[in-house]
Amino acid sequence: MKNFLIYFNLFLCGLNANAQKKDSTFVKKDSLKIYNLKEVTVKSAVPMVRVKTDKILMNVDAVPNAAGLNALELLRQMPGVTIDGQDNVKISGKNGVQVLLDGRIQTLNAQQLSALLKGTSSASLKAIEVISNPSAKYDAAGNAGIINLIFKTSGAYGTSGNLTAGYQKMDHYRQNSALNLNYKGAKLSAFLNGNFDNSLQFTKVSSNRILSDKVFDQNGVEQQGYSNSMVRTGLDYTFNKKHKIGTILNYQRTWDDFPSNASTSIIGNAADVLFTNTLANLTENRFSTNLNYQYAAKNESRLNVEVDWMRYSSNLNNLVDNAFERAVQQTSFKNDTRSRINLFSAKADYSKAFWKGNFESGLKFSSSQTGNELRGEQSGSTGSMQVNLYNDFDYNEKIAAAYTSFERSFGKLNIQAGLRGEYTSMKGLSINEIGQKTALPDTSYVNIFPTFFLRYQLDDKNSFGFAYSKRVNRPSFQDQNPYVYRTDFYYASQGNPLLLPQFTQSLELDYTFDGQRQLKVNYNTTRDLIEFVQTQSGDQTTVLPVNAGTRSYLNMSLSTPFKFFKIWEGYFSAEPYYQFYRADLSAYNGLAKISNGGVGFNGYLSNTVDLGKKWKAGLSTWFNYASRSSIYRTKAISSVDFSLKKTLLNDKLNLNLAMRDIFNTQKWEQTAVIGQINQSSLRKWESRGLYVGLNYNFGNTKVKNLGTKGNKTDEQERIKSRG
């Protein structure tokens, strides 16, 4: 009877667990024994990936080789997510991903998202959510969807936490460490997440550009020294059942030193060899704070108010020296870039039970102020030729938004419909060294973003779903700056002040079994697609972001866990897709009309075997088949990882061993024919290595309160690194 009541209590809480009673009290009443559980120890087998109605959730601790990885590397193993050789994250083939930290939105561009994910240790994460079709409650920014990083907290009263340290030996090295502390009291709760990572690795790079009369064949090595430190801390105070306040502070500092050297063989007219040496150092600081208030009434109405402020700064110092083997000409380019960005946002969300359903509505205002100062210098070998360059770029943007949504079930059918309206006002001004001013269009516009979801629950295990959404991806601040940023003698990049937002509409059908197995078909189309193209003027190549036509994407995905012989379990996902791209780029020098399509495939397979005596072995692999994405064609890339895990000291200490990328196949190759340019690029980083790590859990693990935290949302930044 004792065990029955314990298991029944946990079953009502939705846990598949084994529980041990401790310090329980016994009351005899009408011959019925009642146990009031003060605390229990919970051990649950959580699946690695769980498919929900509107998202896919990865449990980080259940990933066989998670130890020592960062969030970017974990996402390579997430169904529906791909990452290219330049660390751009895509969901269902689309770029423009939004990221959330514990439900609070950080509106990042591709490069800043990559930096944040690389700076987040897996040891600090509890789970990762991928939301491909967000509801009207979420910001419309990010046409690919949302990635939510859920940090570790504790439901146990008292103090608890864990400490992680690891080392990976490649050709060079990578070290990681993390500390997570949690305190939970009757009214006051607090947490602290901190991690420090540093590494040194060399990346082999090559680029081949074929023009009508010349070939530029470049080979080089990037030597990257990297360190990242991040601290998040927060407090929650509960006054009573109705009122709760909280605050979160976050600080992150990144230092990136990436000198490189390359040689470019010039074949054709005036054949020569160009030697390029680059010194580059980037420092980024990000400080943010959040204040939040939650109100919950007895009539099931809820109000959540949040205010966020963030200060971002970056300094990039870049020196490029060019020398020819035969020609006398030598040049030097120096760029010093400083960026300062302030972001503020305030929002209020209200929900209430209404008409046998749930009604939600909210308001939000956000403001960003961006200042970029670029100081450049170009000089010749004798110093007789020297050009001083200057650019001062200021950008201001304000967004006011309102949304409403309603959800109700009619028997087995659940319907949710929402509408979000956003008013955007933006203004930018760029001033160069001669006082010439380039103004972005002083633009104000209103956009409407509808969402619609259906879910038919056939029975307890089988359900069918439909989703429609419309989203927007706005240009990054720096991509609108017309400043020319030179990276070698023949190659430069430039912003585009006329760049417009891109819009994506998405339709999705799915069949879900038992909440873990899913078959899904998705179709989406993006107009005014933001793409980076290369224009040619003589020998000079300039990379420019433009609104490059329309891309359509059709994919089917199958994902399911599996289990054999009680000791062997795993997860499998497969995603074949087809995408079609059409654009007229004839307005840009050297480019033409493009119309092409192509198929691709992404897959993931993980296996975990229980070896007994608290040993577990894991073997996992991910594979991205050769594919075409708008202008570019990418070759296949894959990885196979092996891991061992040993649990010690009454399950408090975990020893992790892993061999990453056993066959050393993580190599990114891309080709493109863009007007007069036939280009191919290759990047091979240090991916194969042996990892050793320790994770120690300490403090109270006795659960007293099995409640859950509500989701919170907030916006912060849209910032681009490295100029």
CA dist., res. 499 & res. 530, Å (int):
8
Mean pLDDT taken over the chain: 83
Comparing 6-10, 185-189, 355-359, which segment has the lowest mean pLDDT? 6-10
Cα dihedral across residues 100, 105, 108, 110: positive or negative: positive
State the pLDDT at residue 2: 42
| Chain segment 652-708, per-residue pLDDT in tens | 898 999 999 999 999 999 998 877 778 899 999 999 999 999 989 898 765 443 333
Residue 522's contacts (CB-CB under 8 Å, 6 or more residues apart) are: 92, 132, 506, 507, 508, 509, 553, 554, 555, 556, 557
CA dist., res. 230 & res. 435, Å (int):
40
* DSSP state for residue 497 in the 8-state scheme: T
| Chain segment 335-351, per-residue pLDDT in tens | 898 989 898 999 999 99
Closest residue by Cα to residue 105 from 244, 237, 288? 288
Residue 188's contacts (CB-CB under 8 Å, 6 or more residues apart) are: 235, 236, 237, 238
State the pLDDT at residue 381: 61
Model confidence band, residue 18 (pLDDT cutoffs 50, 70, 90): very low
Q: Which residue has the tokens 């690891």?
A: 166
| Chain segment 397-413, per-residue pLDDT in tens | 899 999 999 999 999 99
| Chain segment 356-408, per-residue pLDDT in tens | 999 999 999 999 898 989 888 888 765 556 778 888 989 898 999 999 999 99
| Region 223-240 average pLDDT | 93
CA dist., res. 94 & res. 365, Å (int):
27
Model confidence band, residue 84 (pLDDT cutoffs 50, 70, 90): low
Give exposure, 164-200, as e/b (b: 16+ Cβ within 10 Å): bbbbbebeeebebbbbbbbbbeeeebbbebbbbbebb
CA dist., res. 124 & res. 196, Å (int):
11
| Region 22-38 average pLDDT | 39
| Region 278-285 average pLDDT | 92
State the pLDDT at residue 665: 95
Q: What global pTM score does this model have?
A: 0.82
Is the pLDDT at 228 greater than 50, yes or no? yes
Kindly report the length of the chain.
723
State the pLDDT at residue 710: 38
Neighbours of 4 (CB within 10 A): 9
Q: Which residue has the tokens 């399911």?
A: 560
Comparing 55-69, 447-461, 541-555, 627-641, which segment has the lowest mean pLDDT? 55-69
Give exposure, 528-546, as e/b (b: 16+ Cβ within 10 Å): bbbbebbbbeeeebbebbb
| Chain segment 488-501, per-residue pLDDT in tens | 888 888 888 888 88
Is the pLDDT at 243 greater than 90, yes or no? yes
SS (H, E, C) 511-580: EEECCCEEEEEEEEEEECCEEEEEEEECCEEEEEEEECCEEEEEEEEEEEEEEECCCEEEEEEEEEEEEE
> Which of residues 99 and 415 earns the better pLDDT score?
415
Is the pLDDT at 294 greater than 70, yes or no? yes
Is the pLDDT at 5 greater than 60, yes or no? no
Is the pLDDT at 8 greater than 60, yes or no? no
CA dist., res. 530 & res. 585, Å (int):
12
Q: What are the backbone dihedrals phi and psi of residue 61, each rounded to the nearest 5 degrees, phi first?
A: -65, -20
State the pLDDT at residue 3: 47
> How many percent of the chain have pLDDT more than 90?
39
Is the pLDDT at 717 greater than 60, yes or no? no
Model confidence band, residue 576 (pLDDT cutoffs 50, 70, 90): very high
State the pLDDT at residue 93: 66
Is the pLDDT at 43 greater than 50, yes or no? no
